[in-house]
Amino acid sequence: MSGRPTPIGFPDGTDTVDIEHEIAEIAGSLNVLNSRLVEVTERALAHGEWIGHGIHSPAQWLAWQAGLSLHRAKEIVQVAQQRASFPLVIDAFDRGELAIDQVHVVVTRAPAWADQRVLHFTKNATVAQLRRAIRDERFEGDPDEPDPQPTGEDRERLSTSTTDDGRWRINGELDLDRGNIIDNALSEARDSLFERGHTDATWADALVEIAQRSLDTVPSDSRRERFKTWVHLDANTGDTTLTAGWRIPISVRDRVLCDGQIQPVWEREGVPFSVGRTQRIVPDRTRRIVELRDRGCRVPGCTADRFVEIHHIIHWLNGGPTDTWNLVCLCPKHHRMHHQGRLGITGNADDEHGLTFTDWKGRAIGSNGQPSLPTGPPPKPDQPYQHPCGERLDLNWVGLG
């Protein structure tokens, strides 16, 4: 094929180009087969074919018939239920152009009227990017809801997110002894608020009190400045967002602006003023503009959106200015890779599609995988899949040996 990169050989005789081409072909076939599974599931829902003894839901039936996890079966059923509402997205899915995970995000989080509007972006976006984009468009659904994870007594997790109506949410699970430390800290903070006259203090007030105490003890002014909450207010439209891009309601905006510091960022034709070669260290206000623009690491496929570092695309020592077009957010891992010569970055960061990322061999890194559309029927299995019997599992008699 003309235009294909030079293969990189491995000891076993394979090369990365052939492997990537093979994966693309497989992905296209998988997409077509998954679309067929969705279409068959839609027919089963319409005619009640899933109803049977001991079957509680279509997802349970599909998980049994196809040997899927219940979570995956639920996603397929959800796509099947919305199949008729998104004809353009489903048509691309039927041709093998979209993966089941991409389609599921669209049909469960975007309204049906946005079918044509989201189609092109869906073809070129990762699942994480789709969730973020639909969230920012304020479509229905919660793209920040974490996917179900296997839980266990030794598993600890903590996550924060925002809801579609501009509320902040925290969710977590810790070991009992460590969780008890947090309980005690919350109780102490709430009691302290009560003694100071806040007789109606809630547990939420107590959590904010603990966080505020932590920030108040930061000794360095520069470090304290870094962890302030910055609200970006568009003077023309009145839209208000946090640096991560989350919109905040008007009522919250008005309350915050009653008692806060206002630092204007001057723009010329929509582009913030930069400092050129006058400064090597990125000023705080310029940093906040770059973080708001990038909303996380710009490397394709990277989902890191916190604790990013600002990088000069053209290095300062090579004459690169401290201007927004020459500044990009990178996570610490990709920042190290760049300075180790394993990641190339060129282009104009102010342009949404203006950056080119390359690997250590100089090959361009695409924004996402591009499945090859199948040109014939997929390989057939030696025999039809035999689904589990569906009987009750009694570990006293049946196990893994």
Whole-number pLDDT of residue 100: 94
Task: Flag the least confident range among 148-152, 318-322, 327-331.
Answer: 148-152
* DSSP H or E segment with residue 352: none
Phi, psi for residue 70 in degrees, rounded to 5? -65, -35
Side-chain-side CA neighbours of residue 372 (13 Å): 13
Q: What is the mean pLDDT of residues 69-96?
A: 93
CB 168 within 8 A of CB 191: no
Number of C-beta neighbours around residue 89 at 10 A: 27
Encoded amino acid at 336, one letter: R
In angstroms, the CA 92 to CA 176 distance is 48
What does the angle CA 67 – CA 72 – CA 78 come to, to the nearest 5 degrees? 120
Nearest to 232 by CA among 293, 171, 185: 293
In angstroms, the CA 310 to CA 275 distance is 15
In angstroms, the CA 182 to CA 196 distance is 21
CB 168 within 8 A of CB 160: yes
Is 60 exceeded by the pLDDT of residue 98?
Answer: yes
Nearest to 73 by CA among 387, 381, 393, 372: 387
Tell me what percent of the residues of the chain surpass a pLDDT of 70: 67
Crossing angle between the packed helical segments 87-94 and 16-47, to the nearest 10 degrees: 130
Whole-number pLDDT of residue 381: 60
Number of C-beta neighbours around residue 291 at 10 A: 20
CB 135 within 8 A of CB 103: no
Whole-number pLDDT of residue 302: 77
Q: Using one digit for the tens of pLDDT, what is the confidence trace for 239-259?
A: 766 665 566 666 566 555 555
Nearest to 123 by CA among 377, 366, 354: 366
Q: CA-CA distances (angstroms) from residue 148 to 59, 74, 151, 320, 338?
A: 16, 12, 9, 45, 34
Whole-number pLDDT of residue 85: 93
- Write down the pTM of the prediction: 0.54
Q: How would you classify residue 3: left for phi > 0, otherwise alpha for psi between -120 and 50, otherwise beta?
A: left
Query: Could you tell me the two tokens for 140?
Result: 């229905």
Q: Using one digit for the tens of pLDDT, what is the confidence trace for 202-242?
A: 998 899 889 888 878 878 766 666 666 666 666 666 676 66
Decide: helix, strand or coil at residue 172: strand
Phi, psi for residue 49 in degrees, rounded to 5? -65, -20
Nearest to 329 by CA among 368, 276, 281, 293: 293
Q: Using one digit for the tens of pLDDT, what is the confidence trace for 147-201?
A: 545 444 456 888 887 676 667 788 888 888 888 899 899 999 998 888 888 888 8
Decide: helix, strand or coil at residue 345: strand
CB 63 within 8 A of CB 73: yes
- Neighbouring residues of 40: CB distance < 8 A, sequence distance ≥ 6: none
Q: DSSP letter at 85?
A: G
In angstroms, the CA 321 to CA 316 distance is 6
Q: How confident is the model at residue 396 (pLDDT cuts 50, 70, 90)?
A: low
Q: CA-CA distances (angstroms) from residue 136 to 93, 125, 139, 299, 364?
A: 24, 14, 8, 20, 28
Q: DSSP letter at 160?
A: E
Is 50 exceeded by the pLDDT of residue 400?
Answer: no
